[in-house]
Every structure is written in C-alpha cells, then in structure tokens.
Structure 1
Amino acid sequence: MTRLRPARLSVLLAFAFTLTGSRIAAAKNAPAPPHWVGTWATADVERSNAKGEFGAADMTFREIVHVSLGGGLVRIELSNEFGTEPLTIGAAHVALTENKTDIALPTANALLFSGRETVTIPPGGIVVSDPVKLALPAFADLTVSLFVPAQKITHLTVHGSAYQTNYTVTGNAVGSKTLTEPKKQGSWFFLKAVDVEAPAEAAAVVAFGDSITDGTYSTSDTNQRWPDLLAQRLAADKKTANLGVLNVGIGGNRVLHDVTGPNALSRFDTDVLAQSGVKYMIVLESINDIGHAYDPAKPYDVVTAEDIIAGLTQMIERAHMHGIKVFGATCTPYVGAKYSSPAGEAVRTAVNTWIRTSKKLDGVVDFDKATQDPANPTAFAPAYDHGDHLHPNDAGMKAMAGSIDLKLFTEK
C-alpha cells in the first residue's frame, strides 16, 4: 500500500476543498430556474374523426385563449391524450390576438419543441414547447396557431365547448397575419395549457368541475364563465393579484362515471396535479352523478350521497398529498331541470350538507346559496337561471364568482 507524504496529502486536500468550494459558489451564483405558473388551461376529451374532416388535408388550427396572469416568458402545452396514432405538429406559432382571425405580427413567435420546429406526440402524450419571450399582458387574448399535416387521425383530442370562436384553414398559415376564408370552430383542438414565468409568490387556482364551470350558456367570446370572473376579482385585490385561474370544467362530467370525457377521479392527475404552480383548487362536481342516477325518466349509474362523498374525499386527499388546498363548492339548485327528482334533491342536499360541514376541506364556496331563489331555495333564482333550471346565465356566473371569499386565498 502506497502512503502519501504529509506535504503531498496537504496539497491534495487543499485542492479538493478549493474545488468543492468553487462548485458551491457556482451553485449559489447560478440563476434560479423559471417559476412556471399556469395562466390558462382546459380539459380535453375524445372526439371521433371517423369522417376524416381533420385528417384529409393539411390544416391550420388558429385557437384563441384568454389568459389570467401576464408574463414575459411563455410556453404552450399540446396534447394527444385521446389519440390512437402519433400526432405530428408541423409548425406552431404564438402571438397576441389582434382581431378575430388576425394576429399582431410584431408579437409572433415560432414555437420550438426541444429546439425543433416539428414534434410528434405519441398516443396519450403531452408535449411542452420551449419557452419564448413574449410580453403577455394579464387578461390578454393569445392566439396559438398549429399546422397539422395530412395524417391519419382516428380520434381527436379536443375541448368540445370552448365558448370561444376559433378557426381552421387548409394549408400552413401559422405565420400569416390573417386567414383567408377560415372555417369557424367552437372547440379547442390539441391544446392543453399556457404557462408564464412568474414571481416566486405567484400560483394557480384550478376550477375543477362540469358544465357550470365550463361556462355552458355563457355568452361566447366574452369570457363570462365564473372562473374568468373570479380571475378578475383576484387581480383587482393586491393581496391576490399573483394568482392565475385555470378552468378545467367539462360539460356533463361526473365524479364516478365516464360520460362526456373521463370521470373526475380518473382525470384528476392530468387536469389538476399536472398543472404548473397549482396552490388552490375549487371543486364543483356531482350534479350530473345525481341527475342521471335519479332521473325520473331513465335512471342509470345509480350512486348514493355516500358514494359521491367518498369520491370527493379521494380528490381532497390526493390534492393534499401535493400541497394543494381544496375548497368545496356546493351544488347549485336543479329543481325543474329535466333530470331532477325529489330523490335526487335529497341526495344533493346531503352532499351539500357534507361540503358545508366537512373538516376535510380547507374552505367552502357556497354556490348553492349564491344562486338559489330565496322564495324557493331548491330552485335557481329567476334572475340567474339560463332557462333550463340547471345552468346559470351571465348574471348567475357573476353571482357565483362574487360569492367567493377572497380571504380563502390569503389565510395560512
């Protein structure tokens, strides 16, 4: 065994300490990684493309999203969650919206994916673009343009009811200021989320629910969904101005059974936990579980209040595992809706009572109280009823957003 002389050992130790110290100093001086926070998101579902409408020819999808938080660095998430074949995106651009189909060319940026202009998303996959510099104001309309070359697309990944007019044209027009003879679309295609670089204290609020959260019957192209209106309230208060709001509602969604899109429990990881910078969640789910289970004309997928509560509890536990606070929203009135019944109303009352009294939740949002008719509390207030006795109108959406106590987002 070779022994090191004391002098040589001292030199080696000094070198090692110097090297270690320099590495520590370099680590301390290295720039912090970006703090990404979601400023917009949607929840996707599967749509059949059996007729080949979107796979028969090269096509550009020009899609408009209304962000919540602003920022100077932006990245986009694209999805092939429900595709059964690989999906190739031939080119993608992002820009501020100028007017309907038009983009503000000075703000346009080509999106790259790991440094490449094209990307192929495997079946069931999601990809994130490289960041681009873009001065994105809060509450701006952002246009994402995707060129999808001709290919086999059996199943589309879409958000069916966007309540936002989007556009398609034949060919690659991602970099064009305007579109020639575009076709209007009422859905978002292959689009999952938009993130911004934000200060360390910034975070996102996920609005998780069904058609009432999605914005069914709210006025299209005006962003009158209750999560949009909540985002405006948060921004107006300096204590909560660093919070973005992500709407991942799906019309017809249920807690325990698939119907329109996957059930809430099965989509929870993708639509809540995988979002960037989530700190809070408002969950408004179960009216469809109740309505279909106790439909007087054709009941199916029967569930009890205890079943629904067990499903909600699972979401709470899983969110808490990731440090996310959960605020339970009471189910809004539904007496008079096509699938309402006395038995269903009893279950809705039981679920709402649990939400109001449960110690598992971090807070309560009482949408039931905010929208009910004082003279008939089991029904929507006429001023807030869209007309089907199930969905709120724009005034109802505003009442829901206005009923949320912003202290929920500032209490430790």
Structure 2
Amino acid sequence: MHHRSLLCLTVLLSLCLGSFTLAAFAAKQPEHWVGTWATSPVGVVNKEGDAGSTGTTYREIVHVSLGGSSVRIVLTNEFGTAPLTIGAAHIALSAGQDSISLTTANALTFSGNPSITIPAGGVAVSDPVELKLPPLSDLTISLFVPAQPISQLSVHTYADQTSYTAPGNVVGERVLEQPTSIYSWPFLKGVDVLVGAESASVVTLGDSITDGALSTRDANARWPDVLAKRLHDNKKTAELGVLNEGIGGNRVLHDVAGPSALARFDRDVLSQAGVKYLVIMESINDIGHAKDPIKPYDVVSADDLIAGLDQLAQRAHIHGIRVIGATLTPYVGAKYASPAGEAMRQAVNQWIRTTKDFDGVIDFDKATRDPANPSVFLPSCDSGDHLHPADGGYKIMGDSIDLNLFAK
C-alpha cells in the first residue's frame, strides 16, 4: 500500500512538473514582428508641386488585420529622386474620419529622433510604441512633411480609403482644421505589430483586382479584406495577418503601372515582416495589352507568363514561403479583351490549376464565372467594366478561399 501511494505521488509530481515545464516553455516563446497592413508604392511625378510646397500634415487611415501589443510603421521614399524629410509622425486609433482617439495617441520616433530624412530610394522604420491594437481596426498615422522640393512621390495612388491633409504640423490634434480629403497613401508603406511566435502574414501579390479597384470606398470590401476577416474568425488561422500588395495596372513581366511583379518582388514580398504565405494573382494586364485587338504592345506568350509565375514561386520558396496560385478571373467584354487573349487566359489558368510549383491553388475563375458562359463574370460579380469585380464579386472571391491552405 505504501509503495502504491508513493508511486501515485511520483506520477502526480511528474505530471505537475511536466505541466509547469510546458507552461513555462509556452510563456518563453519569443514575440516577433509581423506585418498587419501594407501597400505597394509607385513613383508619381509631383506635377502640381503640391507635396512639399508648404508644410503639410498627412493623416492616413489604414485598416489593419492582426492586432498586437506594440506597433511600428514603415515609411517610403523608394521612388524619390532626393532625400525626403518627415518632420514629425504620430499614431493613434481612428475615431472616425479625420478624428483620432487621444487616449491611444503616441508620438513616433526614428532611432530616438522625432524626425527623419529618408534617402532617395530608401525606407525608414519607426521605433516601436506600446499600443493595444485590436484586430480588424482602423489605425491613423499622421505625418508632417515640411516644405521641401519633391519632384517625385512614393505613393499608393488608388487606396479606396479616405485620408486627409491639413496645413502645418498638426499631427497630434484630435480633429484637423481645414482638412482636405485624399484617396491615396503617400509616403506610407507598412504597419507591423509585435505578436506571439505563432503569428505570421499572408502577402497577396497582384494587380487592380487584388488592389480592390471599383470596390466601395472606405468599406474594406477588397477580396484580401474578406480573407483577413475570415482568417481572424477561424480559430486555426486567427493569428495570420494579410498584406495587400496589389497595384492597379501592374503586370508580371513589364514595368508600366509600377515595377513589374518580378522587379518588385523583393521589395513588396520578401521585405515584409513575418511572411509565411504568398498568394499570387497576376497576369491579366500582360494578356490584355499583348492581345489588345486595337493596339497590342509588350507582346508576350502564355509560356512567357508561366515562366514568370514560376520564377516568383521559386524565389518565394527559397525563403521558406508557401506559395498559393490564384486563377485569373473572366475578362471577356473588357476594353482590351480578345479571343486570342481569352485563349491565353485559359492556358495560364490551366497551368495554375495543375502545376506543382504552387503549394496550393485558389480557383477565383471558377468562383466568379457564369456557368452558362464561362468567359464572362456572373452578373452579380461584375462591376460593369467586365474586368473588375463589384463588391459582391470580391466577397465571392474571398469566401471561395479554402482556409485550410493557411493552416499548414
């Protein structure tokens, strides 16, 4: 009896110690930085000289995916031709429109300094600040850009999100006086959060369809937004953020609307914090312009595009990133559509569905096409230009994604 009691006590102590050890191990898991929001800047000539002509505050609103305990931002002068000075920066939760929540407000510093000069072609990362950032919330970043010569801006031009400018340095004001609405994200490249070791990010690389063109402004109705909410609501994927690296007009092979996907890959994918997954949906602009029935240019073949997509996948795999290919949505009826272009789209989609280069596939074509006429959108998906989805189409795209692709 004594031996049995001693054995039970030993087993109990072992279980307790084991539980304590597991708990201690879990507690010691390191936090790391993961992207919660990002965008792809392009170079825009400052034709009117508005930016930099006088000191201006840019109050930019972004909708984050992951929450976190601390936050940092990434600024860009990647397309600038001269150094860019940011005189002050500020961060807070949004209180709606140009208002901020003062109880969450923080001044930002850069290597301990309240201002920073970013070299031409460069980026800058702020020092972290403690901020309880809820997932799927709106965050406000205010930047004061003092008067300076700026010939070319680094900016995401089509944000589908209202931000604001105001005269002078008013980064810490609760509400802006004399605000002017803008619909772009100048000088801002990303937001990272400090999160647990299990967290990571999903980069969505694409063109205007990934960027959310023609979706309702300020509604966060892009398909990556739909994906972000679904990931958050699913226990197995709740620790994943989504970074939208779509650029309207972008192509895989040629620099036109910003650098090509091949050229910007390191900057827009590999430089992001905590990337674990990459979704690639791009080629329709390559096809449309190459097979334009009126004025074709930058001619490419299906094999050229397949080789380009293959290169993107291989470059991601080198860095341990799982790559998910997405089929191209219907485009017959669009201005640059043609029978030859549709044949090329079908060939590229067939390769995407069957290649072993990808770790998974999302069939956006199947989700959005009209079964009675598979070359065109379902009426409920079409924005009216026969190329870009409407809000309902973006939702169908986001809802069609198998979340098990991100649970590995």
TM range (shorter): over 0.9
For residues 177-256 of structure 1, what are the structure 2 equivalents within 5 Å?
Answer: 177-256=174-253
CA distance in 2, matches of 1:326, 1:144: 31
Q: Is the contact made by 2:62 and 2:138 (CA closer than 8 Å) also made in structure 1?
A: yes
For residues 265-304 of structure 1, what are the structure 2 equivalents within 5 Å?
Answer: 265-304=262-301
- Partner of residue 63 from structure 1, selected from 42, 52, 60: 60
Runs of 4+ that moved beyond 6 A: none
User: 1:339 corresponds to which residue?
Assistant: 336
How far 1:50 sits from its partner (Å)? 2.8
SS of the residue corresponding to residue 94 of structure 2 reads: strand
1:45 counterpart letter in structure 2: V
How far 1:410 sits from its partner (Å)? 1.4
Across the aligned residues of Structure 1 and Structure 2, the Cα RMSD in angstroms comes to: 1.0
- Partner of residue 81 from structure 2, selected from 71, 80, 84: 84
How far 1:33 sits from its partner (Å)? 6.1
Residue by residue, what CA displacement relative to the aligned partner does 1:323-372 show, whole Å, maximum 9, x if unpaired? 00110000000011010000001110000000000011100000000000
Gaps of 5+ in 2: 1-24
User: 2:20 corresponds to which residue?
Assistant: none
How far 1:377 sits from its partner (Å)? 0.4
SS of the residue corresponding to residue 386 of structure 1 reads: coil
- Partner of residue 115 from structure 1, selected from 94, 106, 112: 112
User: 2:138 corresponds to which residue?
Assistant: 141
CA distance in 2, matches of 1:111, 1:34: 21
How far 1:99 sits from its partner (Å)? 1.4
- Partner of residue 352 from structure 2, selected from 348, 352, 355: 355
SS of the residue corresponding to residue 53 of structure 1 reads: coil
Instruction: Figure out how many residues of one structure are paired with residues of the other and give that number.
Output: 382
Residue by residue, what CA displacement relative to the aligned partner does 1:363-401 show, whole Å, maximum 9, x if unpaired? 000000000001100101111100000000000000000
User: 1:19 corresponds to which residue?
Assistant: none
How far 1:32 sits from its partner (Å)? 7.3
CA distance in 2, matches of 1:316, 1:56: 43
2:369 counterpart letter in structure 1: Q
TM-score (norm 2): 0.93
1:232 counterpart letter in structure 2: K
Residue by residue, what CA displacement relative to the aligned partner does 1:166-223 show, whole Å, maximum 9, x if unpaired? 1001100100000011111010010000000111010000011000000000000010
SS of the residue corresponding to residue 237 of structure 2 reads: coil
CA distance in 1, matches of 2:174, 2:233: 33
Q: Is the contact made by 2:29 and 2:197 (CA closer than 8 Å) also made in structure 1?
A: no
User: 1:125 corresponds to which residue?
Assistant: 122
Over the matched positions of the two proteins, sequence identity in percent amounts to: 65
2:102 counterpart letter in structure 1: L
User: 1:323 corresponds to which residue?
Assistant: 320
Gaps of 5+ in 1: 1-27
CA distance in 1, matches of 2:217, 2:95: 18
Q: Is the contact made by 2:221 and 2:394 (CA closer than 8 Å) also made in structure 1?
A: yes
User: 1:39 corresponds to which residue?
Assistant: 36
How far 1:224 sits from its partner (Å)? 0.3
How far 1:34 sits from its partner (Å)? 4.0
Residue by residue, what CA displacement relative to the aligned partner does 1:122-174 show, whole Å, maximum 9, x if unpaired? 00101100000001000110000000000010000000000000100110010
SS of the residue corresponding to residue 57 of structure 1 reads: coil
Residue by residue, what CA displacement relative to the aligned partner does 1:29-62 show, whole Å, maximum 9, x if unpaired? xx87640000000000011113211121000000
How far 1:259 sits from its partner (Å)? 1.1
Residue by residue, what CA displacement relative to the aligned partner does 1:81-109 show, whole Å, maximum 9, x if unpaired? 00000000000000000010000011110
User: 2:92 corresponds to which residue?
Assistant: 95
TM-score (norm 1): 0.92
1:95 counterpart letter in structure 2: A
Residue by residue, what CA displacement relative to the aligned partner does 1:293-343 show, whole Å, maximum 9, x if unpaired? 000011000000000001001100000000001100000000110100000
